[in-house]
Every structure is written in structure tokens, then in C-alpha cells.
């Protein structure tokens, strides 16, 4: 076959032929770094060169320009035109267009052995060894991002779940009952399992209910939106209207975990003749609508599950009512390790001495010892170090957040309200 190709700039009439050539050109099973939608967005906006032979489109090189740098987002050749110099010619012509556009560096990312590998090497492109390509797919679309920002939401870090040390019982429950079916809805459907839409987390104050909610959102890769009843109540139309308005905005998100802390403020048992009736009714109505769409989860947290309205906890509204207790030994060990600076402190002794402490209690104790040690250093004129006894003395002076009666009440709530 004689080399009789013709190169020119992309024209809108070339689009259909480019899409067809893109599929014919592939030589590997690896998906390209830039998908076809990325390529089409660049066409007509950034330099792109096509090759024609006997009136047929047989090659294309498409770029994306970022100031003085450009990426070759697609390079494709008809199979019968490989190895004939056409690829090098395409890249050379594209390079001239980019140079005139002020580009000083041109880059490309190709799966190993893909069409164009030889052409890039022959055109002066040099492979960079020792690099690893990282990719992350955002779960929030540009359309949803505007709504999310207006609600003050964000996607929590994925690693937040792994940073919750210990708490094995709670993590296992949430992982298996909530995260798994929401992450694999098709498999769940095969077994007749309907992914949860709403759960209640209950337990004494300071036990990490908010942290669990955030970590669950991060585990799912979903946006986290926290609703504050006190802010909703500032609406001129009142709390009930504020709930209706904010849930309407949330409906514009494709995936979301909505969190309401201290939900007893707006879902306590209704008292006839008071505004609480309208508020609870509006929340129940919003919950029904919220549950109709997949890809969303409402998490409500409360320190006092027994004061919630009976209709609020009814089956069909909340899938699970899960207890979140005080940090277990493994969790307290991780907490202490986070705050200890000096060597020689017996962590196991501190763990045993702080049974029933909340994370806030542990942090307060650690800060107390840190301040004392700092003051000793300043008074002595040399670096002082904290000992196990220093921590035990501070622990003895701490008034724990949770009293025996609160822990006893929590045990009773587990017996009467937990739904796992």
C-alpha cells in the first residue's frame, strides 16, 4: 500500500468516524486514561489532527491544553495503517499546532503495548520509569456539587473508617448491616435484601456516634451532610418548614448520607397543642420521601432513645436502631497511643484504669498530664518526662462523663430499643 495519506485539522463532520476508529484501534484490554467523553469535549476546542486516505479517516491525534502543557488524550490508527509512519506524522503535525499555541511540554498516558507506543517513541517522547498512575473517581457529579456546597457537605476521607480502632462490635454491625448492602445493591437484591435507608445510633454522650456516621460516609464514598435543628429553626416559617425545604434540596443529590445529631430535639414524643406535632409530622413525611430513592442514607443520633416519638422508631421508618457504647479496650489502647509522647508509660495499665471513659475523657486526661509535664520542664530547666504514675494520678482526678446510672440506663435501652 503506497503512503498516500492527507493530514488536516479536525472538523465536526469527523466525529462519527473518530468514534468508530477509536474502537478499531485498541490493541489492549486496558481502558484508556481519558475516556471518550473527555476526548469529545476537547474536539473543536483544542488542537486535533486527523489523517485521511482515499477519503476515509484512518488516524487521529487529539490534545487537551492546560496553559503551557498539553496532553495527548487520544491517539488512534486504523489497523492497516500501523507501522507505516503515519503515527509519527500525526504526532509531528499535532506538535506544530501545540507549539504555535504556546505549549512547551506535551505528555501522554498509554496502557503498555497500546496503539501509538512506537509512534510516541519515534517522535521524541521519552517514557518515565518509576512512576505509578493513581486514579480516583469522584462520587459527586458537578451538578450535585453545587447543591452539596450549599448544604455545607463534603465527602469524608475514605481512611476515616480504618482510624476507628477497636469498637469491634459496633464496626461489625455497621459494616455488615449498612455498608455491605449499600455498596453492593445488586448482590443484595439477588438475596432479597433491601439496602437500609435510615438508621438510628443511640448511646451515652461522647461515645463517637458522629464519628461513626462520618466514617460510614467515607467508607461508602458518599457526601456527608449534617443537619442542625437549631439552624433550621431560625427559618421565618419555623422548624417544620425548614425541614421540608432542606430535604427538598437534598433530593438533588445522587448519593448522600444525611446526619442529624441529638435528633431528640426534633423527634421527641409529640405533645398535643404544641409545635412538636407539626415538626415530628414533617420529619416523618420527609423520611418517607427520602426512603423512596436509592443511594441515600439517613443517620440519626441520640443520647436518649427512650424519649423519641414512638412513631419515629416504628418498623418501616428506620431499618436498624444500633447501640454505640463506650470505647472497648482496643479502642482505649489506640486512644492512649495517640496522645502519649514519652517512652516508658505502661499503656496497658492506663487502658485498664480507664474502663468506661469516653474519648473526650481520655483526651482531657492526656492534656492535663502534658500541661503538668510542660510546667515541670519550665521550672526545672531541663526536659521532664511523664510516667505511668503521673497518668494514673490524673485519671483518679477526672470526673468521667458517664456515671454508673447513665451506663445502667444505656444497658436497659439496648434491651428495649436495639434493632440489629
Domains defined along the chain, listed by start: 6-122 (3.40.630.30), 142-326 (3.40.50.300), 329-401 (1.10.8.60)
Residue 79: what pLDDT?
93
pTM (2 d.p.): 0.71
Residue 1: per-residue pLDDT: 46
Q: Is residue 91 predicted with pLDDT exceeding 50?
A: yes
When comparing pLDDT for 115 and 8, which is higher? 8
Rg (CA), the chain: 30
Per-residue pLDDT, averaged over 347-369, amounts to 94
pLDDT at 2: 56
pLDDT band, residue 132 (cuts 50/70/90): confident
Confidence of residue 272 (pLDDT cuts 50, 70, 90): confident
Q: Name the percent of the chain lying above pLDDT 90.
A: 64
pLDDT band at 57 (very low <50, low <70, confident <90, very high): very high
**pLDDT for position 273:** 65
Share of the chain above pLDDT 70, in %: 97
Q: What is the mean pLDDT of residues 392-400?
A: 95
Sign of CA dihedral 95, 101, 105, 106: negative
pLDDT computed for residue 134 by the predictor: 81
Q: pLDDT for 282-341, tens place per residue?
A: 888 989 899 998 999 999 999 999 999 988 888 889 999 999 999 999 999 999 998 999
Amino acid at each position: 500500500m503506497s503512503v498516500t495519506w492527507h493530514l488536516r485539522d479536525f472538523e465536526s463532520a469527523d466525529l462519527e468516524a473518530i468514534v468508530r476508529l477509536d474502537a478499531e484501534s485498541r490493541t489492549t484490554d486496558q481502558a484508556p486514561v481519558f475516556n471518550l467523553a473527555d476526548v469529545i469535549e476537547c474536539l473543536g476546542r483544542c488542537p486535533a489532527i486527523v489523517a485521511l486516505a482515499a477519503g476515509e479517516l484512518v488516524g487521529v491525534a487529539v490534545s487537551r491544553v492546560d496553559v503551557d502543557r498539553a496532553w495527548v488524550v487520544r491517539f488512534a490508527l486504523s489497523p492497516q495503517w500501523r507501522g507505516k509512519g503515519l503515527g509519527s506524522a500525526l504526532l509531528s503535525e499535532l506538535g506544530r499546532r501545540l507549539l504555535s499555541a504556546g505549549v512547551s511540554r506535551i505528555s501522554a498516558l498509554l496502557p503498555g503495548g497500546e496503539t501509538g507506543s512506537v509512534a510516541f517513541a519515534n517522535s521524541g517522547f521519552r517514557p518515565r520509569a518509576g512512576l505509578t498512575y493513581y486514579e480516583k473517581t469522584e462520587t459527586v457529579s458537578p451538578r450535585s456539587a453545587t447543591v452539596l456546597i450549599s448544604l455545607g457537605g463534603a465527602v469524608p476521607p475514605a481512611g476515616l473508617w480504618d482510624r476507628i480502632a477497636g469498637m469491634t462490635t459496633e464496626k461489625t454491625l455497621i459494616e455488615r448491616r449498612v455498608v455491605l448492602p449499600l455498596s453492593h445493591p445488586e448482590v443484595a437484591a439477588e438475596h432479597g435484601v433491601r439496602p437500609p435507608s435510615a438508621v438510628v445510633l443511640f448511646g451515652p454522650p461522647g461515645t463517637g456516634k458522629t464519628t461513626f456516621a462520618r466514617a460510614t460516609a467515607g467508607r461508602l464514598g458518599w457526601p456527608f451532610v449534617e443537619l442542625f435543628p437549631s439552624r433550621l429553626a431560625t427559618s421565618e416559617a419555623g422548624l417544620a418548614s425548614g425541614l421540608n425545604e432542606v430535604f427538598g434540596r437534598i433530593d438533588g443529590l445522587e448519593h448522600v448520607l444525611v446526619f442529624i445529631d441529638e435528633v431528640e430535639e426534633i423527634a421527641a414524643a409529640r405533645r398535643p397543642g404544641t409545635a412538636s406535632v407539626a415538626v415530628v409530622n414533617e420529619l416523618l413525611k420527609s423520611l418517607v420521601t427520602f426512603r423512596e430513592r436509592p443511594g441515600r442514607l439517613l443517620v440519626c443520633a441520640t443520647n436518649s432513645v427512650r424519649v423519641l416519638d414512638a412513631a419515629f422508631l416504628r418498623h418501616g421508618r428506620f431499618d436498624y436502631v444500633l447501640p454505640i457504647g463506650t470505647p472497648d479496650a482496643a479502642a482505649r489502647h489506640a486512644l492512649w497511643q495517640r496522645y502519649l509522647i514519652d517512652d516508658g508509660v505502661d499503656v496497658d495499665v492506663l487502658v485498664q484504669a480507664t474502663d468506661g471513659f469516653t474519648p473526650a475523657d481520655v483526651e482531657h486526661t492526656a492534656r492535663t498530664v502534658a500541661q503538668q509535664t510542660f510546667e515541670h520542664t519550665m521550672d526545672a530547666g531541663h526536659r521532664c518526662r511523664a510516667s505511668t504514675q503521673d497518668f494514673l494520678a490524673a485519671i483518679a482526678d477526672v470526673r468521667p462523663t458517664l456515671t454508673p446510672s447513665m451506663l445502667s440506663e444505656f444497658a436497659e435501652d439496648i434491651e428495649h430499643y436495639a434493632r440489629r
